[in-house]
Amino acid sequence: MSRADERAIGVESRMLDDEQVVARVVAGEVALFEILMRRHNQRLFRVVRAIVRNDPEAEDVVQQAYLAAYGNLAQFAGAARFSTWLTRIGINEALGRTRQRARRAEVELEEQEAMKSPARSPEEQAATREEAAMLEAAVDELPDGYRVVFMMREVQELSVAETAACLDLSEENVKVRLHRARAMLRDRLEARMQRAAREAFPFLGARCNRIVDAVLARLGIGPVR
């Protein structure tokens, strides 16, 4: 980009609102996308940084958010402000990173615990994984607005004020959504527990064989198998 182009963009950035810039980028003036990036860089970085809590990763997430926004620019309908639409993309990218990080950390923790506690039975390890998977599945089923608030407040442990600022919500709305998300999770987990209870304490297979073999051995009778 030439200096003349940079000066031209500088002038246009003061004359055009976001929606006008978007329309022109979609129409083919792709260089004008720089206006949107420079206009929203600080806000987007700060929002993402509040979630990932890491400067280099925040920069990477912001870049991914811009790439996603650019790729979907034609779908921007103008129902919300462009800044709100862009911020939501950044938040979704950041939350995706935190979930990936949490899962990696969980796997590493399980591996460390397994090394520290070699006597832990396969059944106990399977139960822990099943509990985590059950919770993750229940969280994934929450409606978008509730799931994001739950992730930010309970998983990322952001304050009500910070969550509200990131999502362009009132603090009261954040509190209401978190309360409802918790209630929905309780209902979903309770339903899963009821289904799981019917399958709990399985007695077939290895457990059954161990008991039978032990009793037969004490009786001095060889197993039929």
Same domain, 137 and 185: yes
CA distance 170 to 101: 28
* φ and ψ at residue 81, rounded to 5 degrees: -65, 150
- Give the closest residue to 76 by CA, choosing from 21, 135, 136: 21
Residues 53-105 have pLDDT tens digits of 888 889 999 999 999 999 999 888 777 789 889 998 999 999 988 888 777 66
Same domain, 74 and 135: no
Domain contains 133: yes
Same domain, 50 and 127: no
- Give the closest residue to 225 by CA, choosing from 197, 195, 205, 196: 205
Domain contains 84: yes
- Please compute, for residue 203, the number of CA atoms within 13 A of its CA located in the half-sphere on the CB side: 3
Domain contains 110: no
Last residue of one domain, picked from the residues 76, 93, 110: 93
Residues 100-158 have pLDDT tens digits of 877 766 666 655 555 555 555 666 666 667 777 777 888 888 887 888 888 888 877 87
Domain contains 162: yes
Are 130 and 105 in contact by the 8 Å Cβ rule? The answer is no
First to last CA, the chain: 80
Same domain, 82 and 168: no
Domain contains 125: yes
166: containing domain: 121-225
Residues, the chain: 225
Same domain, 133 and 70: no
CA angle 113, 95, 93 (to 5 degrees): 130
CA distance 142 to 183: 11
Tokens of 101: 């990080």
Amino acid at 89: I
Q: Higher pLDDT residue, 53 or 179?
A: 179
The CATH number of the domain holding residue 49 is 1.10.1740.10
Tokens 């460390």 correspond to: 112
pLDDT value of position 42 = 92
Amino acid at 105: A
Same domain, 211 and 145: yes
Are 91 and 166 in contact by the 8 Å Cβ rule? The answer is yes
Number of domains the chain contains:
2
Are 142 and 186 in contact by the 8 Å Cβ rule? The answer is no
